[in-house]
């Protein structure tokens, strides 16, 4: 994970980026309640959260909107403790939010991964990727991805990772005023017809190939729960998005653009497409 900054005051700050799933293939729900996934996730540059971990006399997670034990950063501290199997010094986590919640860009998962990385660095545990990813998997399906970043195929629940190449692209993430619950989107998915099988087309080498390659099997479910998403998708496509793609389980839509000038134009037009939306300009540098 990039952007680890130690401070002289005895704290470590880590930048927590968002992700987008360029491909999200979802299988039928398993006996454990989870759906088997094949997904290509990429970590985006641009908007981000900042997570600072410091020593404290009482555990605290300070985060606008989701403070305390409900925040995945709290579960990350528990998972770190379980991974090292001995008591650790008490820590506090401060999260500056630049990312939206319930948007499908993985903000909460990214904060949890950043908490693990920052705490590992602050306490000098030297856990390394494998052990950090194991702790991350105990927190949530997307959390191990954020330990690695870059571009990864993720399988299983989303926690079995394999690095891949992916083309550079510019994008605009449009976040509607109303979010979506991941659990509810998967529940709606269960009531709809199964998506077509994987066509195994290789990852395109250039961004223009993404227009036809990207796929998100949760799109019909998200659209059924929030029908206005179809209008936003249509408006972004008309404005030049190639493609417009639901972020994870939504409700944000990522407009991938052929170049930075087109992305800037989409970002200017986007606020009128969805009342009360937030517009985030982001990019993937390619790997």
Stretch of 77-85, 96-104, 140-148, 208-216 lying at the interface with ligand C5P (CB under 6 A): 140-148
The tokens describing 180, both together, are: 């979506």
Q: Rule CB under 6 A: choose which of 5, 7, 165, 183 binds ligand C5P.
A: 183
Given the residues 19, 111, 120, 217, the one annotated as active site: 19
Q: Does 158 bind ligand C5P (CB under 6 A)?
A: yes
Q: What are phi and psi of 248, to 5 degrees?
A: 50, -125
Least separation in angstroms between CB 87 and ligand C5P = 26
Q: Does 101 bind ligand C5P (CB under 6 A)?
A: no
Number of helical (H) and strand (E) elements in the chain, helices listed first: 9, 14
Stretch of 34-42, 93-101, 110-118, 267-275 lying at the interface with ligand C5P (CB under 6 A): 34-42
d(CA 170, CA 255): 9
Computed over its alpha carbons, how large is the radius of gyration of the chain? 19
Spatial CB neighbours of 118, under 8 Å, sequence gap ≥ 6: 4, 12, 13, 14, 51, 52, 53, 93
Least separation in angstroms between CB 186 and ligand C5P = 4
Stretch of 90-98, 125-133, 162-170, 178-186 lying at the interface with ligand C5P (CB under 6 A): 178-186
Based on the residue annotation, tell me whether 259 is a catalytic residue of this protein.
Answer: no
Q: Does 175 bind ligand C5P (CB under 6 A)?
A: no
Over the range 137-152, which residues count as b (16 or more CB within 10 Å of their CB) and which as e? bbbbbbbbbbbbbbbb
Question: What residues make contact with ligand C5P under the rule CB under 6 A?
Answer: 34-35, 37, 140-142, 157-158, 182-183, 186
Q: Which amino acids are annotated catalytic? A: 19, 142
């Amino acid at each position: 994970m990039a952007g680890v900054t130690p401070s002289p005051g005895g704290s470590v700050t880590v930048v927590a980026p968002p992700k987008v799933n360029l491909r999200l293939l979802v299988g039928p729900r398993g006996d454990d309640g989870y759906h088997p996934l094949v997904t290509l996730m990429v970590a985006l540059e641009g908007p981000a959260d900042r997570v600072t971990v410091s020593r404290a006399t009482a555990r605290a997670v300070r985060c606008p909107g989701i403070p305390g034990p409900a925040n995945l950063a709290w579960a990350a501290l528990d998972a770190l403790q379980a991974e090292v199997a001995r008591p650790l010094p008490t820590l506090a986590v401060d999260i500056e939010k630049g990312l939206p919640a319930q948007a499908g860009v993985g903000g909460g998962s990214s904060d949890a991964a950043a908490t693990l990385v920052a705490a590992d660095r602050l306490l000098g545990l030297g856990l390394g990727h494998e052990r950090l990813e194991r702790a991350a998997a105990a927190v949530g399906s997307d959390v191990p991805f954020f330990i690695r970043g870059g571009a990864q195929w993720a399988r299983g629940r989303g926690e079995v990772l394999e690095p891949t190449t992916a083309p550079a692209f510019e994008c605009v993430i449009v976040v509607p005023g109303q979010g979506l619950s991941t659990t509810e989107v998967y529940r709606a998915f269960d009531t709809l017809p199964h998506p077509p099988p994987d066509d195994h087309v290789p990852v395109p080498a250039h961004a223009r190939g993404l227009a036809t390659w990207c796929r998100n099997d949760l799109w019909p479910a998200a659209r059924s729960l929030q029908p206005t998403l179809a209008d936003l998708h249509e408006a972004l496509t008309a404005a030049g998005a190639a493609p417009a793609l639901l972020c994870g389980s939504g409700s944000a839509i990522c407009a991938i653009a052929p170049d930075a000038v087109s992305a800037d134009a989409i970002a200017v037009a986007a606020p009128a497409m969805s009342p009360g939306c937030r517009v985030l300009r982001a990019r993937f540098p390619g790997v």
